[in-house]
Structure 1
Amino acid sequence: MPWFLYLLECADGSVYTGIAVDVQARFAQHANGTGARYTRSRKPVRVLAQFELADRASALRAEYRVKRLTPRVKRALAAGERTLDSVLPAPPEPSGRAQPEAEAPA
C-alpha cells in the first residue's frame, strides 16, 4: 500500500511535513484541529505537495529527512524546483560486488 509524504502551508507561513495514506483526509484532520499539535496553533491553509512512496518505512525515512530541511528548501521541493530524491540520501551501493582475486606470488 503506498504512503505519501505531504507538505502543508500553514497560516503563519510555516511548512508542516507529515505522512499519510490519504492526504486529503489527513489535511481535513489538521484543518479541524484533530491533527498534529503543530497544526492546531498554526492552521493549515493548503496542501503544497505530496509525494508517493512505496511503504510506511520509506515514508518515515523521507519524513525524517524533509523535516530537517529549511522552509526555503521545502518550498522549492513543493514547487518542483527540487526532487524528493535530491534531498534524500543516496541508497547504499550493493555490497555483493565481486572483488578481483589477488594473484599468488610466483
Structure 2
Amino acid sequence: MDKHYTYILECKDHTLYTGYTTDLERRLKVHNDGKGAKYTKIRRPVKLVYHETFDNKSEALKREYALKQLSRKQKLALIKEG
C-alpha cells in the first residue's frame, strides 16, 4: 500500500515550505538538487523538519492545505511538538 506524506521543510533562510509527496527521501533530494519548487530552488539547502503519513492522497492533500493555512508561529509549535 502506497503511503502519502505532507511535510514541512526549513529553508536556508529559515523560512518554511509545506508540500505533499509519496516519497519523502526522493522529494527532499529533488528540492536540494534545485529541481523542486521554485520557492525552495533559491533557498537551498532545505531540511525536513516535520512530516505526517496518510493512507490516501485525498487525506494528505487536505492536510497539506490545512498546514498551509497555519501561521509561522503555529507551524513552529507543531514542529516542536512533533
C-alpha separation in 2, matches of 1:23 and 1:36: 14
Q: Does 1:75 align with 2:69?
A: no
Q: Deviations over 1:13-69 (max 9, x none)?
A: 111000111111100000011001110112243100111012111111111111111
- For residues 13-52 of structure 1, the aligned pairs below 5 Å read 13-52=14-53
- For residues 82-97 of structure 1, the aligned pairs below 5 Å read none
C-alpha separation in 2, matches of 1:12 and 1:80: 22
Tell me how far 1:8 sits from its aligned partner: 0.3
C-alpha separation in 1, matches of 2:13 and 2:72: 12
How many aligned residue pairs are there? 81
Structure 2: gaps of 5 or more residues: none
Structure 1: gaps of 5 or more residues: 82-106
C-alpha separation in 1, matches of 2:61 and 2:73: 21
**Identical-residue share of aligned pairs (%):** 35
RMSD value, Cα: 1.2
TM-score (structure 1 length as normaliser): 0.71
Tell me how far 1:3 sits from its aligned partner: 0.3
Q: Which has the higher contact order (CA 8 A, sep 6+)?
A: 2
Higher helix share: 2
Q: Does 1:61 align with 2:50?
A: no
- Contact 1:8–1:44 at 8 Å: present in 2 too? no
